[in-house]
Structure 1
């Protein structure tokens, strides 16, 4: 993997999100606890809602448009909803958030 430093963990509020713009689209970084960060597509597959503006709870995010809930671990929709969002490897080292650049390079821009 090729890791890209995308900021400090303190740049994201607890139970909040931050958007990272990449050459292939926007990726949302979600902070669920003191040192836990997840990375996923910012776009809900239902109606294109901005997941970075959704509600982060547990290890999930709720879309702000129609309340679809997605696991931040797997990207899978929860409950009666069907669908999935892409997720990306991310880690925190010495307070810095590192995103897997290899996975982003392989993602389609379409």
Structure 2
């Protein structure tokens, strides 16, 4: 991702949930952790295409809702032997979610 992209309002994602966004032809899942921090990873599970934004999260991992495989939200590394996810830089700027540098 070459430039920063405004995805929308921070309030579009309740604490402890995720949402998917289409950015430059890719689906990216953005999570708003219970501590208020944001994480962004590939939105599609590499196993069988599950919707990761619908998965369960805590402050460290996302669990795919289809087969319960887990990934570290900070590194994208699988905790269950699956391929890694791409991790994207994401931040809040006031009320806006900004993806990218």
Using the size of structure 1 for normalisation, the TM-score is: 0.82
Deviation beyond 6 Å, 4+ runs, structure 1: none
1:25-104 → structure 2 map (5 Å cutoff): 25-78=26-79, 80-100=80-100
Q: How many positions carry a matched residue from both structures?
A: 100
* Greater helix content: 1
- Whether the aligned pair in 2 keeps the contact of 1:39 and 1:90 (CA below 8 Å) is yes
* Partner Cα separation in structure 2 for residue 34 and residue 4 of structure 1: 23
1:29-58, CA deviations, whole angstroms, 9 ceiling, x for partnerless residues? 111134311111111111111101111112
Using the size of structure 2 for normalisation, the TM-score is: 0.88
- Whether the aligned pair in 2 keeps the contact of 1:9 and 1:35 (CA below 8 Å) is no
- Whether the aligned pair in 1 keeps the contact of 2:4 and 2:98 (CA below 8 Å) is yes
Residue segments in structure 1 that go unaligned for 5+ positions in a row: 103-110
For 1:39, what is the secondary structure of its paired residue? strand
Residue segments in structure 2 that go unaligned for 5+ positions in a row: none
